[in-house]
Amino acid sequence: MRISIYTVGGTIDKVYFDARSAYEVGSPEVTRLFARAKTTFDFAVTEIARKDSLELTQQDRDTLRARVATDECSWILVTHGTDTMTETARVLAGIPGKTIVLTGALEPSRFIDSDAPFNLGMAVAAVQTCAPGVYIVMNGHVFDAAKVRKNLQTNTFEEID
């Protein structure tokens, strides 16, 4: 069993740099989180970007799609900022034979009470159990990526009726 991971940044990877009193996107947390989870599957991590998802460009998304489309692995997991996750999901639509799952976090992985390990666990399960297509897993739901939005009032993802 093998999962191919792509990271573009987002809150999940945010760390704090006291030297600049700044809070920036750091290196991918996914490897550390897999180690904590004692996972035994094979995986590769490809870092596409290290950005707040509001700063992601069409070129970033095109690069991601091109890399995913040519990936030999049929199970694709993308860690991503939450604000434009649905946008990136749309760009990834229509790649045949691949189950693509996007997730991220509302609190940085380094926080004691972050949702990152839970969300990543959901993504790892969904990528191996769902039919080919694009999915977003957040707030305990496996959403069809075409039928979900981030509600900015409640700061949670919800299905579009």
d(CA 11, CA 35): 20
Tell me phi and psi for residue 63, to 5 degrees. -60, -45
Tokens 């075409």 found at: 146
Is residue 40 involved in binding its own copies (CB under 8 A)? yes
Site for its own copies in 80-139 (CB under 8 A): 81-83, 106-108, 110-115, 117-126, 128-130, 137, 139
Nearer to its own copies, 70 or 161 (CB): 161
Nearer to its own copies, 18 or 70 (CB): 18
Q: Residue 42 Cβ, how far from its own copies at the closest point, in Å?
A: 10
Is residue 69 involved in binding its own copies (CB under 8 A)? no
Nearer to its own copies, 65 or 156 (CB): 156
Q: Residue 105 Cβ, how far from its own copies at the closest point, in Å?
A: 8
Is residue 142 involved in binding its own copies (CB under 8 A)? yes
d(CA 125, CA 153): 29
Segment interacting with its own copies (CB under 8 A) among 15-23, 57-65, 66-74, 89-97:
15-23
**Single-letter code of the amino acid located at 101:** V
**Residue 76, CA distances (Å) to 44, 80, 134 in order:** 10, 13, 9
Cβ-proximal residues to 67 (8 Å cutoff; 6+ apart), any chain: 6, 46, 48
